[in-house]
Amino acid sequence: MNITDLIKIALKALANNKMRGFLTMLGIIIGVASVITMLAIGQGSKKSIQSQISEMGSNMIMIQPGADTRGGVRQSASAMETLKLADYKSIVDETRFLSAVSPTVNSSGQLIYGANNKPGTVYGVNQDYLEIRRYSIDDGDMFTEQDIASAAKVCVVGKTVVDELFTNGETPVGKVIRFNKIPFRIIGVLTGKGYNSMGMDQDDVVLAPYTTIQKRALAITHIQGISASALKEEYTDQAIEEISEILRRNHKLKPTDSDDYTIRSMQELSSMMTTTTDLMTVLLAAVAGISLLVGGIGIMNIMYVSVTERTREIGLRMSIGAKGMDILAQFLIESILISVTGGLIGVIFGVGAALAVNIMARFPIYIQPWSVFLSFAVCTITGVFFGWYPAKKAAQLDPIEAIRYE
């Protein structure tokens, strides 16, 4: 008996029990749809986080003072003075793997314009900070080296600051705002970036020359941190190694001494977040995969019932010349048809469900082709695996006993 005849017989058998066949497929449909939807949600979250980290500067490196102890007591971060302007200049002059470097100081207080005010933080930086943090100027200009040299009272503000202080819709460029009694003239407005993956408003920011914040707001000569950007993300480790060598030399640290600074990179954060989302994706897929297992068990159960119901038919086929392999192939094809058809319908429902989640819940999704192929392949294997034993049982029936079966 050729394969075409076997497929026709299998299709006829399934057509005679449409509702039972559909209910058997339902487990496979739900399983495949669940796997595709869960993987799409997991991968969508991963892509969204990576995108937002990239907007923040995926190759950004942050250097902070640390491990500063006085009289055996560890100092607070604000009291640490282990980073100097000389460290910043050495890093600028000697590193080969950095594209931009900026000293950072900041001061918190009240921002005031007319009758409007809001709490805020003014960050003292240089022009490279825009490249490091992926900011751009939407209106006006960035402050210059001359502004830094003269500690000019000028600033660049984010969209959130503009919205909260300039409620009448006036143009902020050229206006003067006060920060803790210090007047700052706005010379530029940053392009909006929105919230990052940690829920922080990236537009609630005021940038000023670092010398201005050092001298006029904080009255300090040290810096609170250094932000830098590697030439490429893959050069981050080499850049960190270079920075560490420079700082240990500048701070005259012995080989046995601990670092008096802390270096962090966005690459570390990206790696951590990616690992977390990958774990969640695997867990979601595993839970959804249970549905496939249940669907496979349903196929086995129905095939057992089918073999029992058609015992006399099997006996008649074998008595007129059908071989055990023909009977095995017949029932195996039925099982595969159920699983493959259910898989195809499941793929359609899975893609549709993922798109519905994206449209209705505004949740990021990313449907990877391999997840569709994997789900379809698994459901096909499920049909073969769970259909094999009932088919084998049918093929091993004794023709005489089968014909006598009531």
The string of pLDDT tens digits covering residues 277-310 is 778 778 777 777 787 778 778 888 888 788 777 7
What is residue 243's predicted lDDT score, i.e. its pLDDT? Answer: 95
What distance separates the 2 farthest-apart alpha carbons in the chain?
Answer: 106
Report which DSSP code applies to 368: -
What mean pLDDT is predicted for residues 341-346?
Answer: 88
What is residue 68's predicted lDDT score, i.e. its pLDDT? Answer: 45
What is residue 361's predicted lDDT score, i.e. its pLDDT? Answer: 79
Three-state secondary structure call for residue 361? coil
Helices 324-360/369-395 angle, 10° precision: 150
What mean pLDDT is predicted for residues 243-264?
Answer: 91
Q: Taking a C-beta distance cutoff of 8 angstroms, is the pair 331, 300 a contact?
A: no
Whole-number Cα distances in Å, 176 to 79, 139, 165, 221, 406: 31, 16, 11, 26, 97
Out of 142-146, 239-243, 296-300, pick the least confident.
296-300
**Which of 217, 141, 204, 202 minimizes the C-alpha distance to 174?**
141
What is residue 342's predicted lDDT score, i.e. its pLDDT? Answer: 87
Three-state secondary structure call for residue 219? coil
**Token pair listed for 139:** 């209106």
Residue 405 has pLDDT above 70, yes or no: no
What mean pLDDT is predicted for residues 235-239?
Answer: 90
Residue 364 has pLDDT above 90, yes or no: no
What is the spatial distance between Cα 293 and Cα 30, in angstroms, rounded to a whole number? 11
**Token pair listed for 6:** 């076997």
Three-state secondary structure call for residue 172? coil
Average pLDDT for the chain: 84
Q: Identify the bridge partners of residue 188 per DSSP, sorted by sequence position.
A: 140, 156
What is residue 402's predicted lDDT score, i.e. its pLDDT? Answer: 63
pLDDT digits (tens, 9 = 90+) for 323-337: 878 788 887 888 888
What is residue 145's predicted lDDT score, i.e. its pLDDT? Answer: 95
**Which of 101, 77, 79, 105 minimizes the C-alpha distance to 213?**
105
**How far from chain centre, in Å, is Cα 109?**
34
Above pLDDT 70, what percent of the chain? Answer: 91
Residue 136 has pLDDT above 90, yes or no: yes
What is residue 70's predicted lDDT score, i.e. its pLDDT? Answer: 46
Burial category of 293 from C-beta neighbours within 10 Å (exposed 0-12, middle 13-18, buried 19 and up): middle
Residue 78 has pLDDT above 60, yes or no: no
Q: Taking a C-beta distance cutoff of 8 angstroms, is the pair 218, 122 a contact?
A: no
Q: Taking a C-beta distance cutoff of 8 angstroms, is the pair 338, 24 a contact?
A: yes
What is the spatial distance between Cα 39 and Cα 371, in angstroms, rounded to a whole number? 7
Q: How confident is the model at residue 75 (pLDDT cuts 50, 70, 90)?
A: low
**Token pair listed for 397:** 């029936």
What mean pLDDT is predicted for residues 195-216?
Answer: 88
Strand locations in 165-254, DSSP E? Answer: 176-179, 182-190, 206-209, 225-230
The radius of gyration of the chain from alpha carbons, rounded to an integer in Å, stands at 34
Strands 261-265 and 60-65: antiparallel
Q: What's the pTM value of the predicted model, to 2 decimals?
A: 0.64
Q: Which residues contact 154 (CB under 8 A, 6 or more apart)?
A: 143, 147, 184, 185, 186, 187, 208, 209, 212
**Which of 158, 154, 147, 81 minimizes the C-alpha distance to 121?**
158
What mean pLDDT is predicted for residues 105-117?
Answer: 94
Q: Taking a C-beta distance cutoff of 8 angstroms, is the pair 208, 161 a contact?
A: no
- Which amino acid, residue 8? K
What is residue 54's predicted lDDT score, i.e. its pLDDT? Answer: 65
pLDDT digits (tens, 9 = 90+) for 36-74: 888 888 888 777 776 766 666 668 899 999 754 444 445
Strand locations in 158-265, DSSP E? Answer: 176-179, 182-190, 206-209, 225-230, 261-265
Above pLDDT 90, what percent of the chain? Answer: 38
What is residue 272's predicted lDDT score, i.e. its pLDDT? Answer: 73
What is residue 58's predicted lDDT score, i.e. its pLDDT? Answer: 67
What is the spatial distance between Cα 123 and Cα 299, in angstroms, rounded to a whole number? 64
